[in-house]
Amino acid sequence: MKKKIIIYALLLLLSMSFANTQNISIKIQLFPIGYKNSSFTIYDNEDKSFSDFLFQNIKKSSVAHFYTPVKDRCEEGFYKITVNADGIIYEYEVFAKNIIYDAKNKKYLKYDALSDIYTYLAKKQLECIINKEN
């Protein structure tokens, strides 16, 4: 019986040591077309679960080897995602559907970040409208 408890405690400690314990901070900026040298911060780490979700999806995304950067452009401009994970800065650019650009590694990644950003913004706008009515 003692062996089972020791093995269980050891496995529990191992699982806790491999858990995601990174301190993640994300900032998303919009660089609109038609406004030179201007940007708008649309997200500045307001929601920890969204930050974790976005970073995990970026980390899981695979490389888009045959992507050509001229198709499926955003009409409003491009988004810049800055991730600070335990002091390490990552920068990503989102300017097309289903693709993000990893500026640090100079790679295109397959991930529909636009959909997640638009969903978050819609949720934020809906909460704002609901709060105004109450």
Strand order in the sheet with 88-96: 40-44, 24-32, 77-85, 88-96, 99-102, 107-110, 62-63
The DSSP bridge partners found for residue 41 are 29
pTM reported for the whole predicted model: 0.74
In a domain, residue 47? The reply is yes
Residue 69 domain-assigned (yes or no)? yes
In a domain, 110, yes or no: yes
Q: Give the count of domains, the chain.
A: 1
Q: Which domain holds residue 103?
A: 23-133
Residue 9 lies in a domain: no
Q: Is residue 90 part of a domain?
A: yes
Would you say residue 124 has pLDDT above 80? Answer: yes
The tens digit of pLDDT for each residue in 65-85 reads 877 766 667 777 888 999 998
pLDDT value of residue 9: 57
pLDDT tens per residue across span 30-69: 988 888 888 899 999 888 889 999 999 999 999 888 777 6
Residue 2: band (very low, low, confident or very high) from pLDDT cuts 50, 70, 90: low
Q: What is the CATH number of the domain that holds 102?
A: 3.30.1490
- The arithmetic mean of pLDDT across residues 98-126, rounded, is 90
